[in-house]
Structures are given as structure tokens and as C-alpha cells.
Amino acid sequence: MYEEDKKTILIVDDEQSIIDILVYNLKKEGYNTIEANDGVAAVDMALEYKPNLILLDIMLPKMDGLTACKKIKNSLNVPILILSAKDEELDKIVGLELGADDYITKPFSVRELMARVKANLRKSEISVAKDVATKKDKEEHKIEVGDLCLDTDRFEVKVRGEKVDLTVREFEVLKYLATQPGQIVSRELLLEKVWGYEYFGDIRTVDVTVRRIREKIEDDTTNPQILVTKRGVGYYIAKPE
């Protein structure tokens, strides 16, 4: 039974057994669920029902999950969790670049998946709250560190005055680091503070996101001057000299 006061999750997978397991557990957690078995249906249902979150398999008939992810993200700002049997770095990078918010590989534990779902829904709620909040003095919402300037009200980033397009997740990582320039932050702490989960996160997700940020803000990604790595420890935003 569909209940309007509950959050709705779109499950997209061509294996009905997986859908059945996810439907059972998500409903038990208090969510509405809708289902699609191919990429074309996934895009259509996402645009029609505007779910609060999408669980999206990569290997789908008619349209692959990565293409569906891109099409959905072009129209909706909805959290998308990629589900896939693939555990290759390239798939992770492509999924995040196309707008996916998280990535979990099969087989996964139901407990881990539920933790990811809740964390991404919380993060989405925070972003929406920021978007609808009444704007105050713009200067109060700016973070400036050297050549880097973040407008947290507009979710905008500029490097040496040039606007840079970041995903919401990339922006949140950069903002968390920029609020404490020079302070080294571990990947585990970034995973907890930005992604919202402490025990089930894939550390490589942080590395991939940092790599994508550097490609957009650094002149030379092999020698970063803004978002710097402290080998074996974590990342930090360099303080201006």
C-alpha cells in the first residue's frame, strides 16, 4: 500500500529475486517502493513519480544503468545509489561522474544497504533545506582560502575567479575541508561527515571523489596545490602562504 507521508524509493534491477528482497526490507523500514526492470522504464518512472531515492543496477536491458543515471540526473536532483556486481575502479569513476551519489557492489548485506539508504536520504534532506532557506547576508555564506572561494548559499565554487561546476557531493567534500584549511582529514572521517555513514563506507569512494574535484580545480593534478594529500593520513586544503 502506497502511503503519501512515507519516502518513496525506486528499485531498478532486472533480477526479480533481488527486487523482492529489497522491497521486503525497505517496506519493513517504512519506505514506499516502486519497481522497474530495465533502464528505459527506470527513467520513465523516475520522471513520473519523482522518488526520494533510486537504487539502480548497472547491467540492465534496453538501457544500461549508467546511461539511465545520466538521463535522470539531467532532470531530477535525486540521490542515486548504483548497485552492481562489478567492482572495477572505472565503473565507480564513471558512475560518480554521471551524478551517482553512492556505489555498492553485489553481493551486499541488507544492513549495509539500509545504512547507505538512510545516510543518503539524510544528506538529501540537508541539501534541500539549504536550497529553500531564506538567503541572508551573502558574505556570511562564503568560504575563501587562497585561490578557492565557496558560496555555500549558492553551492558555487570559484578558483581564481573562474566558476567550477561540482556535483553536490564534490561540493560537500570541498566545503568540509575548506572550513578547516591546513587541517588533515582522514578518508574515514570524510566518509562519516560527508557521506553520513561510519561503518559501511567504501574508502575508495572518497579517493575517486577527491580525484574528480582535483581535475576541476587544479592546474596540475599530479602536483595539487589546493586539495593536497598527506600520504597515509588523509587530505587537506592548503593554507595560503
Q: Which domains does the chain have, with CATH numbers?
A: 8-132 (3.40.50.2300), 138-237 (1.10.10.10)
pLDDT digits (tens, 9 = 90+) for 179-203: 999 999 998 888 888 887 655 667 7
Task: Please report, to the nearest 10 degrees, the dihedral formed by the alpha carbons of residues 73, 150, 220, 226 taken in order.
Answer: -130
pTM of the model: 0.61
Average pLDDT over residues 50-65: 91
pLDDT for 31 equals 92
Query: Shortest CA distance to 181 belongs to which of 157, 150, 146?
Result: 146
Tens-digit pLDDT profile for residues 72-113: 988 888 889 988 776 666 666 676 777 788 888 888 888 888
Whole-number pLDDT of residue 88: 61
pLDDT higher than threshold 50 for residue 136:
no
Mean pLDDT of 55-75: 90
Distances (CA, A) of 29 to 8, 54, 108, 233, 239: 12, 16, 17, 36, 44
Per cent of the chain over pLDDT 70 is: 85
Q: Compute how many other C-beta atoms are within 10 angstroms of the C-beta atom of residue 20.
A: 13
Whether pLDDT at 52 is above 60:
yes
Q: pLDDT tier at 2 (50, 70, 90 boundaries)?
A: low
Query: Would you tell me how many other CB atoms lie within 10 Å of the CB of residue 35?
Result: 18
Cα separation values, 211 from 141, 161, 173, 206, Å: 26, 21, 11, 9
Long-range contacts of 227-235 (CB under 8 A, 24+ apart): 227/174, 227/177, 230/184, 233/184, 233/186, 234/184, 234/185, 234/186, 234/187, 234/189, 234/190, 235/177, 235/184, 235/185, 235/187, 235/190, 235/210
Cα separation, 32 vs 9, whole angstroms: 6
The predicted pLDDT at position 137 comes to 45
Name residue 235's beta-bridge partners: 185, 229
In order, the DSSP letters of 195-224 are I--SSS--HHHHHHHHHHHHHHH-S-TTS-
Instruction: Give the pLDDT confidence score for residue 203 in this predicted structure.
Output: 78
